[in-house]
Each structure stands twice: as C-alpha cells, then as structure tokens.
C-alpha cells in the first residue's frame, strides 16, 4: 500500500495508474487526510455481506420448547392442585 498526495497524483496520474494495474493499492491524501483508496479492479463476483446472509437454523430432536414449557406447567398444576 502506497500513500500519495493529491498533487503528486495529478502530476503523475499515468504512472500511478500503471502501479495499480500491477497490483499496488494507493491511498490518496489531500491536506494530510486520506480521501480515496485506489485499488486494482477485480472481475470476481462481489460476496454478499455476512449481515445479509441467512442465519443458522438450529434444530433439536424432540418436542419444541413451547410444548415442553406447557407440559411442565400442567405437571406443576397437578402436583399443586
């Protein structure tokens, strides 16, 4: 990764673009602050962000939780009753 000033980029844009074509990543600075990242182009498909991917679904053998809770409550009522 290479950091360059905006002024240098304007003066030598062609040279810097050639570096990017060869795999270099450039950080473009203006007044001492980064304003752009110039990266080599990639043809590969963009990956779906993890927050957009479907979540894991857990499956447990046996009855579902709500049924188990209801059965337990009924059993407690019979004991108390």
Q: Cα(15)–Cα(17) distance, rounded to whole angstroms?
A: 6
User: Is 57 a domain residue?
Assistant: no
Residue by residue, pLDDT tens for the chain (81 residues) are 999 999 999 999 999 999 999 999 999 999 999 999 999 988 776 777 778 888 877 676 776 778 888 888 898 888 886
| Tokens 């479907």, residue located | 54
Are the C-beta atoms of residues 47 and 53 closer than 8 Å to each other? no
Sheet architecture: strand order including 33-38: 2-5, 26-30, 33-38
User: Is 6 a domain residue?
Assistant: yes
pLDDT at 60: 67
Instruction: Identify the CATH number of the domain in which residue 24 sits.
Output: 3.40.1620.10
Are the C-beta atoms of residues 74 and 80 closer than 8 Å to each other? no
Residue 7 sits in which domain range? 1-41
Q: Is 0.75 topped by the overall pTM? A: no
């Amino acid at each position: 990764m290479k950091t360059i000033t905006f002024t240098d980029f304007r003066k030598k844009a062609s040279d810097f673009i050639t570096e990017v074509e060869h795999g270099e990543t450039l950080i473009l600075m203006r007044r001492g602050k980064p304003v752009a990242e110039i990266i080599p182009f990639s043809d590969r498909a963009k990956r779906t962000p993890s927050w957009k991917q479907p979540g894991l679904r857990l499956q447990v053998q046996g009855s579902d939780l709500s049924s188990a809770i209801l059965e337990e409550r009924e059993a407690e009522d019979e004991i108390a009753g």
